[in-house]
Amino acid sequence: MPPSFSTASQQGVSSTDYLDSRYSWVRLFVSVLLATLGSGGMWSIIVILPQVQDEFGINRGEASLAFTAVMIGFGLGNLIVGRLVDRFGIFIPLLLSCLLISGGFYLSTVVSSFWLFSVIQGTMIGLGTSTLFGPLMSDISHWFFKRLGIAIATAASGNYFAGCFWPLFIKDIVATEGWREAYSLVSIILLATMLPLAMMLRRKVPSKIPTASAADQPTQTMRGKTDLQPNMLQGLLVIAGIGCCVAMSMPQVHIVAYSDDLGYGIERGAEMLSLMLAGGIVSRLASGFLADLFGGIKTLLLGSVLQCIGLILYMPFDGLMALYIISFIFGLSQGGIVPSYAIIVREYLPAHEAGQRVGLVILATVAGMALGGWLSGLIYDLTQSYRAAFINGIGWNLLNIGIMTFVLWRSRLTLQPG
């Protein structure tokens, strides 16, 4: 067991010996498992979107509002829970998250109103899932120094592991039994697995450093320099986060419906989504290594440029095999973008504000996903085609590239981790 700060000072042990320890890696593994299990709600809603649209007799734009509700709850939760984690740690928010997500899945199966269904998606599934992203990344960032980038990126990958697993798990149940039966089963599985895992993260990060040199404190050692004011940098990251995720949402939110429209069915669309997110996992892990070498800003900018190329590739090709390949390429391009924001916050902004600042920028990225998911559905309803929606995404992506190029020009990472 890593020494606490109080015992460390008595034994003459470095007050940061808990960083990159064996327990740090165990904690990271459990965090990824929790995120993989609990983040299924934001991907399951995409799989059931065509059935929800048909059952409630609504159009594509209205049906997309259920996903938007999940993203709103998810985004606000990242901000609110992030502040709670800064003060009280991750354990209690995790317990509440388990109950909210499991309860949300179950209650979704007993409602007959689409608007009540959407409220449950936002206030229970979306809010509950939020703990498993930004706050979990913020928590794990306090347990690593030398491998900070890969640790944050790995924690963020749990969200995409969920996207690989849950659509494939529920697609056949949805096709044969219906979405309500699939959601009931998921509710039981989550309640039985998440609570025991959450109990393993009860330990808090040591909060006081009695005697530690400047070189012993990662918040003073691994720092970036910028002539931008902290709130200015935060604001630019917020706008950039909205731009990149409006673009990202087009394939992620609508690939299943797009596949169904082309005649390939929701099962093939769910496979495309899983393949996309599998590529995203590779991208997130790779981005962690790149961020440890080159910093979060360069890593984010590279991902944004590659994402834009991936969006462009969707426009001329709509064959089944082509869509599988492009979905995987798109995943490879964009997976590392969102965790890079958390890395940038830890590199350039005060560590003791990590929870709320990471939460704010994650809120912005989620707002982009929510806006983009709804906007793409609205554009489809107006044009009866996704082509204009892809063009809209490319425009928002270019906004992100422009902002991050400016931030890179005004900033530099002075010391490398390790």
Any idea where the domains of the chain sit in the sequence? 17-204+218-412
Predicted pLDDT of residue 239: 94
Predicted pLDDT of residue 385: 85
Cα distance between residue 189 and residue 255, in whole Å = 26
Would you place residue 72 in the very low, low, confident or very high pLDDT band (cuts 50, 70, 90)? confident
* pLDDT value at 30 more than 90: yes
* pLDDT value at 79 more than 90: no
Would you place residue 224 in the very low, low, confident or very high pLDDT band (cuts 50, 70, 90)? low
Q: Is 193 left (phi over 0), alpha (psi -120 to 50) or beta?
A: alpha
Longest dimension (CA), the chain: 70
Q: What pTM was computed for the model?
A: 0.73
Per-residue pLDDT tens over the stretch 372-392:
888 888 898 899 888 999 999
Q: Is 89 left (phi over 0), alpha (psi -120 to 50) or beta?
A: left
Q: Encoding tokens for residue 318? A: 């709509």
Look at residue 413 and give its three-state secondary structure.
Answer: strand
Torsion angle (degrees, nearest 10) of CA 143, 412, 306, 141 = 10
Per-residue pLDDT tens over the stretch 290-332:
888 888 899 999 999 999 999 999 999 889 999 999 999 999 9
Predicted pLDDT of residue 217: 43
Which residue, 63, 290, 40, 30, is CA-closest to 140? 30
Q: What is the CATH number of domain 17-204+218-412?
A: 1.20.1250.20
Per-residue pLDDT tens over the stretch 161-171:
998 889 889 98
Mean pLDDT for the chain?
Answer: 84
Mean pLDDT score, 14-23: 74
C-alpha dihedral sign at 131, 136, 142, 148: negative
Per-residue pLDDT tens over the stretch 143-159:
888 888 788 888 888 98
Predicted pLDDT of residue 212: 35
Cα distance between residue 340 and residue 295, in whole Å = 9
